Each structure stands twice: as C-alpha cells, then as structure tokens.
Chains A and B, each alone.
Chain A
C-alpha cells in the first residue's frame, strides 16, 4: 500500500483539473459571462441601427456566430476546454427555446389582436345568410359555424367515446390475448391523416348514398380521428387505478363486469373525462375531413342528416384568402373563437390532471 502511494501517479494530476462545482468562481468567469452575453447583443444593436441589412441576416450571419464565440470564451474561462462545447449547447438550447416561444407568442398575439376586431355580440350569434365577403362586419357572424362545430363534435363524441373506452377496458381489464395487436392497431390508427378519414367517409357513406354531405358524415370522420386519442389516454388512466380496488370488489362478491363498471371506471372518472376532452381538442380544429364530408352552408343547420353544414374550421378556410379585408377579419374572428374553445379544453384538462386524486 505504502509502496503504491509513494509512486506518484503520472500525468493525470496536472492535465485534468477537476471541475469543483462547489468552488467559488473567479472574477474572470463573471467578466467573461458578462462580455459573452452583452457584447454580441451590443454589436447586433449597433449593426441594426447603422446598416440596413435584414434582421434575419443580422441574426443568423452576425449575432449567432458572435454569441457562440462569446459564450465559448466564457465557457473556456469557467471550465476550461470542455466548457466550449457546453456553452455551444447552452446557446443553441436557449436559441431553440426562444425561437419556439416567439413563434407561439406571435401566433397567439396575432390571432387575439386581429380576431378582437371582428368580435361583437352579433358576430357570435348571427349566421351568414345573405352575407357576401364584402359585407361590412356589422352584419353576419359565425353563430352557425359555432353551432356546427358543437353539433359535429358532439355527435362524434357520442360515437367514439364508447368504442374508445371499450378499447381501453379491453387492454387494461379484460387483458385478452389480442392486447398487443389491439394496441398496435390503435397506434396505427392515430397516424391516419385527417384527409384520409374524410375520404373514407366519403367513399363508404356519401358516394354510396347512405348519408348526405351532412353533420353526421363529418361526425363519423371526426370520430375516427378521436378514437385513438381517447383509447390511449383512457388506457393510461385505467392503469393508474389501484389493483386493491379490483381485488377488494371481487372479494366482496361482485362479478368481473360489475368490478369494471361500478368500481374501476368510476374510480378513473376524472381521467376518463380528460381523455374525452383531449379527444375533442384533437379534432375540433380539423378542416380537411369537413371539406370532404360537410362542405359549407351559410345558414344555421340543426338537422345532422339533411344538409351541408359549416363549422369554425371551414368558415376560416373559406374566408382566409378572400380579397376583402372584412372577410379576412371574419376569418381571424373565427380563429379566435376556435382558439378560445381549444384553450378552454386545454385549461380544463390541465386543471383536472393537476389535481391530486382523492383517496
């Protein structure tokens, strides 16, 4: 032992300095960090003010390299050689985060700002009968489209919920032999493009004359898109139901079916509601199936079987590229309405899943 100790370890001691994250950082680190973050920004600002190069060019061709060099120097002072790669990762990570935040922020902001311009009581309540793209904003509204969205999504929910939950129950409760296959098919189904779901309904129900282009046809297409979301989320929720509840209910003498219907599913109630809401959020903005199966209608339609019907996505779609500013404003207004619906669904699901389950 002593002999080993006396032989001083070779090279290592000198070459590899430990990081010592607990040690106090030298002043040079803070100076480098300050310079690395401020100088590139300052040069960017100066270039922006003095030259008329485009912002995108400045950001990509000047700011990013400078920021990388600055951060690399700061990293080198702080941690030595391997600080350089770290600082590059930090720059790219913050850059990616900022980019995504800017895009999301820009989306929400534009929709709210431009959509507010269209919002007034009549816009929510009235339908668009006798309204042409050039009609001023005081007349007409998206009431028919909101009703259409509710009608189609409502029917789709009624159709898809039983099948979705049954699929989840099969996977978690019945635990049949086909579980791996059922899960595979559900996942494959979640990848079906919305336009294909629309084409499927078109071929099977509309071209054969079983259904008109109507809310019902659109609802079937929506249900196809909702089913996998509901099934997968409900499956995860049912898995969380403690096994003791099942064994306890069985011990009290209930049949297997009763265990599922009266114990397991009620215990996962809020989770299943979340699954349904997620399913609704998945489809509420889908446009392509509506264009194939529901077409459009300027009047309010309440019969789901007879007439073509407009919904919010198709209303937006119709008004986006109109040459009249008022029509475009209507599209933004409808987009805001759709965003509010999505936002409400999103908030409710977050609220439900954030709550601690009752014991």
Chain B
C-alpha cells in the first residue's frame, strides 16, 4: 500500500497546493547539495591544480622532488602517490583476512549475546577518532612494531620485501600500513558481517543438513553469496585508507623518493599526510597551490575507488532483492 501518485508529480496539475509546490522545490533543491559540493570541490581544486600542472608538466605526477625555493620551483609527487597506494595495499593485506575471520566468527560461530557485544565493540572501534589512534600508535604500537620489523628482517631478510639497509626501523610504510589496517578493520568487518548475516538461512540450513562442514558452507554458500558486498566493503575501507591523514602523520616518516617495496625501511609517502605536514611551512602562495593540486589528485583517487565500491555494492544489492 503506497501512495499512488508520486509526490514529484503533484507540482504539475492545477490540483496541487501552493504549499506543496514550494515544499517540493525546496526539498529538491536541498537534495542536490551533495552534487553541488562535489562539483565545487572538483571545480575549485581543479582550477588550482590546472596552472600547477601546466607549469610543472607531467613531471608533477612522475617525478619525486620538492624544491619550493628553486628557480623555478620544482615539485613532483610521484613518491607520495605511490606511497599512498603502498600503504593502502599493506593495510589491505593485513586487514582483509582479520576482518573476514572476525565477521565469520561474529555471524556463524559466536553465541548471539557474544555476537551482539562484538558488533558494539566493532562499531566503537570505528568511532574512535583517527587522532586518538595516531596518539596510541605513536606511543604504544611503534615500540613493539619496531621489534617485529627487526625480527622480520632477521629471519626473512632474504626476501626483498623485508630488506633494510639503514638499520632504522622507525617511520616505515609497514607501521603506517598497520595503523591503517587497524582503522580499516572495523569498517570492513561491519559491512562483511552485515552481508554474511543476509545469507538466506534456508541455504545455510540446507548446507548443514547435507552434512557440509563449516568450511564447505563458507566456501560454497556464504562467501559466494556475499562476495559483491564484501568486495564493496573492502573498497570502501580502501577509500578511507587512501584519505587517512593524521594517524599516518604520527607514524610515517615522509620522504620524497619512491620507496618501491622495502616496507620495513624507514621512510615512505602519503599524499594526505604530505598536505598537512607541508601546509604549516609553505613558502608563498605557489606552494599552497601545489598542495591544493595534490589534494585534487587525492580527491580523484578516492572518488574513483568509492564510485567502484558503491557500484559493486549497489549491483549486488539489486541482485539480491
């Protein structure tokens, strides 16, 4: 039983009441705020990024330098762009298995009461501000994390990934990735748990009555059913990880050279962190514009990731209902 004529059509006939018409228009106008803001961000940051790109050329995206006082000043943020991606990949590798198993535990294993408590704890974890996570990471996580990295280097140092020549284990991409993983886990977990909960109970029961083990049920029923939603959730978490600024600021040593794969070598890049750390010490308007241009590319990156994530989630939602 729903109202037959959609409200949007009321403005057309003469029957429509003047109040309704005004109401409709106001609400419709206000509903487009998000579009206006998104367009505004694109236009205004794009307008600042354009001249910078023109002046620096493509080397702005492919070179690694930060020379605001040079004549002419030269900038290249390749290291930062790559660093952001590297951090996000490390965070993904750590957080996705943890989130999946945590969600499986919450949905299929824990008794209902425990599951409810865990849901609340995961939400609480998601609500903790990033600056607090950064503070905690700086003082509590970093000392043991350095130890872990030394162990990694000691026993697995023959793998190029775990090389470290400087002997300095502070401010590595690994620690940054771990902090991002801690921030991603609650996001990915809550979406994954939500998706797994929606597995039709008759499918789960059928699998169990056929004698499927937990592993078989997960592998052939729950995960295939929730795959789209889970991938979407991971992408949303990835978008958050790419844009995270403050928590990474405390634990990562920013260097402009590209740190390609040595994840436990001191120094890495993050474009969001770059903006905050350079903003306080800019030399003149041009460098501010360079930061705005960097922000523009960060915005584009997260926008693409989020759009893909939302499309995946929306498509699987439609298929289900």
Interfacial residues, chain A to chain B (CB-CB below 8 A): 16, 18-19, 54, 56-57, 79, 82-83, 85-86, 88-90, 92-97, 99-101, 103-104, 106-107, 110-111, 162-163, 166-167, 169-171, 173-178, 181-182, 184-197, 199-200, 202-204, 207, 224, 227-228, 231, 243-244, 246-247, 250, 255-258, 260-261, 281, 284-288, 291-292, 313, 316-317, 320-321, 328, 331-332, 335, 338-339, 342-343, 345-346, 350
Contact = CB atoms under 8 A, between A and B. Distances in A.
Contact of A192 (B28, B216, B250, B302): B302
Interface stretch (B51-59, B75-83, B96-104, B257-265): B96-104
A103 B178 CA distance: 11
Nearest to B36: A185
A339 B128 contact: yes
Contacts of A104: 121, 124-125
B118 A97 contact: yes
Contact of A89 (B32, B104, B118, B124): B104
Interface in B108-124: 109-110, 118, 120-124
Given A191-B303, A191-B305, 9 more contacts: A100-B185, A107-B128, A174-B7, A187-B310, A191-B236, A192-B302, A256-B10, A320-B134, A328-B139
A174 B3 contact: no
A56 to B, nearest CB: 5
B246 interface: yes
For chain B, the bracket of interface size reads: 35 or more
A189 B243 contact: no
Contact of B295 (A174, A182, A199): A199
B206 interface: no
Contacts of A203: 44-45, 48, 292
B85 interface: no
Contact of A176 (B31, B155, B239, B309): B31
Contact of B24 (A83, A174, A196): A174
A82 B45 CA distance: 56
B242 A193 contact: yes
B172 interface: no
Contact of A90 (B106, B109, B291): B109
